[in-house]
Chains A and B, each alone.
Chain A
């Protein structure tokens, strides 16, 4: 597949959910528009950053892309196939081709399953061969010793747990991975390790990734293009370089200014 074939095409996506806090005693709850008219493509082999403040709709956008949520308007194409309103049964055979890494590794790993079985889960569901071999390979790729397959998630550290989450996502060799705030629950040194690992995997496996974060500094390390969301709308979509050199919107500038710098006088544009 050539580099310019889009893995994902998102066109005029809208999503609204019922606002139960505003629901009157009689009648239906008013709708809140969470995503408004979002269009973008993700190319094969690309790492797209999705940033925005809390409540900007970035996680919702991610979860809509892998159809944990159903959009109210617009269309989503995955490798040319319209998956916007595809029913779950028809979606299931496609599921191993887009995976997700979750924000909170404690909650996303079943506490009563051993690491090995957690990673094998998606492989078994989709009838892969050489399951234990693939599981062991995935552990190798994320830099965890193979002996960890016999451990329970609560026996691991935060960074190790997140590695298990990554191993589960890459085990099926998906065409697309959604990484939702995957380092925000980790301490700074584990953050760096997990980010380095992900950068290596992107290079080695040629992963296509949507990387959701509220932290532009993290985005900058990993992503080739950045999509900035504010109140459910795209305020900026450009290459990472251009975004850091010449942010076109005020909101992006605000986010850039929020990055804590080791040297407050450093100018991003000089490198």
Chain B
């Protein structure tokens, strides 16, 4: 029994370490990007266009992952792109979480008219196709980092709201809530001190998931050219550019895609890992 328990814990640990490790490396890269990039990510050189990655014939030293059709260094652009990706992930993810979870808690715990208003609002909101909605939004308020973050918050807060509302409702039915009321706890106090600790694991898991989703939404917007200006290197922008020359220079598409995939995966796994590791009920 004991040994069995130990084994499970170790496996969970590896998941947490791998995903957390990747995210840490990424954060370090984002912070140090201007100093560790081998080339200037914006510098074009048409004579060095579509150079293959280092292990292939025709590669040039210094361009480790090759160059795109304008001769810009793919590796440097990926490193530089991590800044925007992480910025979007953290700011948009946190803002989405705060707004959605707050409304969800209020709806699920207080019920009544607050719940009716918030829930109807969410229903209406979710009837819009999200990506179309984002495109529309960015088209209206203009491109740029702030617009992207606003677009992500506006699209995704409903996800938090729904899940947190359901969770708060379930927890609200438990006897420990009645018990806190018998003890003389105020309603707001019950929500913060009794319900919230039981909803936090769900919120954390959702938050990390949302950070991954935020990166994907940013990628989608870059793909349709509605993200940051096309000069600034973003992973989505690189993938969109790489698509046009997939037969001549696949590396322009593949490398950012791998990085994107690993990052989104790490975010979701990190959340799950945290939940398993630090939730006293599951431990």
Partner of A112 from B179, B180, B185, B281 at Cβ < 8 Å: B281
The distance from the CB of A125 to the nearest CB of chain B, in whole angstroms, is 5
Taking the nearest CB of chain A, how far is it from the CB of B186, in angstroms?
A: 8
Q: Which residue of B lies closest to A96 (CB)?
A: B184
B36 interface residue, CB < 8 Å from A? Answer: no
Cβ of A100 < 8 Å from any Cβ of B? yes
Q: Is A122 a contact partner of B184 (Cβ separation < 8 A)?
A: yes
Binds B, one of A28-36, A103-111, A213-221: A103-111
CA distance A63 to B179 in the complex (A): 11
Q: Which residues of B contact A136 (CB under 8 A)?
A: none
**B58 proximal to A (CB < 8 A):** no
Q: How many residues of B contact A (CB 8 A)?
A: 17
Complex contact A111–B281 (CB within 8 A): yes
Enumerate B229-283 residues with CB–CB distance to A below 8 Å.
Answer: 280-281
CB proximity of A154 to chain B, nearest CB, Å: 6
Determine whether the beta carbon of A99 is less than 8 Å from that of B182.
yes
**Which residues from chain B contact A111 at a C-beta distance below 8 Å?**
198, 280-281
Partner of B184, one of A92, A103, A108, A110: A92
Within 8 A of A (CB), among B168-200: 174-176, 178-186, 194, 197-198
- Would you call A168 and B197 a contact (CB within 8 A)? no
User: Which of B176, B197, B281 lies at the interface centre, i.e. has the most chain A CB atoms within 10 A of its CB?
Assistant: B176
**A-B interface contact total, Cβ < 8 Å:** 63
B197 touches A112 (CB 8 A): yes
Q: Are B175 and A125 in contact (CB under 8 A)?
A: no
Instruction: Tell me whether B175 and A107 are in contact (CB under 8 A).
Output: yes
* Given A102-B175, A102-B178, A104-B175: A110 touches B197 (CB 8 Å cut-off): yes
CA of A154 to CA of B176, assembled, Å: 14
Within 8 A of A (CB), among B195-212: 197-198
- Smallest Cβ-Cβ distance to B200: which chain A residue: A112
Q: Is A152 in the interface zone, CB < 8 Å from B? A: yes
Tell me if B197 and A68 are in contact (CB < 8 A): no
Q: Using Cβ atoms and an 8 Å threshold, which residues of chain B touch A108?
A: 174-176, 178-179
Closest chain B residue to A152, Cβ basis: B280
Contacts of A91 on B, CB cut-off 8 Å?
A: 184
Contact between A110 and B182, CB atoms less than 8 A apart = no
Residue of A nearest to B179 (CB): A108
CA–CA, A93 and B183, complex, Å:
10
Give chain A residues whose Cβ lies under 8 Å from the Cβ of B198. Answer: 110-112
Contact between A107 and B184 (Cβ–Cβ < 8 Å)?
no
Does B180 lie within 8 Å of A121, measured CB to CB? yes
Do B281 and A100 touch across chains, with their CB atoms under 8 A apart?
A: no
Contact present for B175 and A154 (CB under 8 Å): no
List which A120-175 residues lie within 8 A (CB) of chain B: 121-122, 125-126, 152, 154, 168
Which residue of chain B lies nearest to A174 when distances are taken between CB atoms in the complex? B182
Select which of A95, A104, A154 is within 8 A of B182 by beta carbon.
A95
Q: Bound complex: CA of A104 vs CA of B174, how far in Å?
A: 9
Q: Once the chains are docked, how many angstroms separate the CA of A116 from the CA of B181?
A: 18
Other than the given A96-B183, A112-B280, 17 more pairs (CB < 8 A) read A63-B178, A68-B181, A68-B182, A92-B186, A95-B184, A102-B178, A102-B179, A107-B175, A108-B174, A108-B179, A109-B179, A113-B197, A121-B180, A121-B185, A122-B183, A125-B184, A152-B281
Task: Sample 17 A-B pairs with CB under 8 A, ordered by A number.
Answer: A68-B182, A95-B184, A99-B183, A100-B179, A100-B182, A108-B174, A108-B175, A108-B178, A111-B198, A111-B281, A112-B198, A121-B183, A121-B185, A125-B185, A126-B183, A154-B281, A168-B183
